[in-house]
Structure 1
Amino acid sequence: MAKKLNVTPLHDRVIIKPAAAEEKTAGGIIIPDTAKEKPQRGEIVAVGAGKKDEPLTVKVGDIVLYGKYAGTELPVEGIDYLIMRESDIVAILGK
């Protein structure tokens, strides 16, 4: 589990720690850094309070899928996070 952040998202926004990019293909071929794709899944590390009359459906610790270009990069203490609206999340994955 990630340590507590000193950043609190507002309203319907969440902060996500993206999963690491794949190092190898299923066949065992090593992928160079220049060819690695941005991950589209990550763990929620902070959530906002939600909008009036619209509570958030995700919670801290959920593993989620999000759009390829969703969110804004947010570097905090040397770690890159993404901050995005809950509506940019397309699925919650089972644990």
Structure 2
Amino acid sequence: MKKESKESKVNMQLLGDRVLVRPEEAMKKTASGILIPDAAKQEKATRGVVLAVGPGRMNDDGKVLPMALKVGQKVYFNPGWESEIEVDDEKLHLIHESDVKAIIK
């Protein structure tokens, strides 16, 4: 039987230009051993991994514009408090493709 990773198996179908992202854990300690409190870890852009993408946004002519993102890509994104959802006891972010600021290569 084929074993599936969490990145490749998400039990939901996204609509439009939605992207499901798992945020990476922020560093809890610097390289020199200094502990960073949670309040100091708040960043404007968050790093994460794309778990699922929708089919794309529909333009005014009714044509679906394909997504630039692919499952498994690492990205910087702007999370909002309203974007956080919980799936299988894991906090994820359901955002629009435009909330992704960069693909990490």
TM-score scaled by structure 1? 0.84
- Relative to structure 2, which stretch is displaced further, 85-94 or 44-53? 44-53
* C-alpha distance 2-73 of structure 1, shift in aligned 2 (>3 A): same
Tell me the residue number matched to 1:44. 50
Aligned partner of 2:96 among 77, 80, 85: 85
Distance 1:12 1:33 in 2: 31
TM-score scaled by structure 2? 0.77
Residue 68 (structure 1) shift = 5.1
Where does 1:9-88 land on structure 2 (aligned, <5 Å)?
9-37=14-42, 40-51=46-57, 52-67=63-78, 69=80, 72-88=83-99
Residue 6 (structure 1) shift = 1.4
Query: Per the alignment, in what secondary structure is the counterpart of residue 6 of structure 1?
Result: coil
Following superposition, which runs of at least 4 residues in structure 1 exceed 6 angstroms of deviation? none
* C-alpha distance 17-90 of structure 1, shift in aligned 2 (>3 A): same
Q: Return 5+ residue gaps in structure 2 as ranges.
A: 58-62
> RMSD of aligned C-alpha atoms?
2.1
Tell me the residue number matched to 1:7. 12
Number of aligned positions between the proteins = 94
How many percent identity over aligned positions? 39
Residue 33 (structure 1) shift = 3.7
Distance 1:69 1:24 in 2: 25
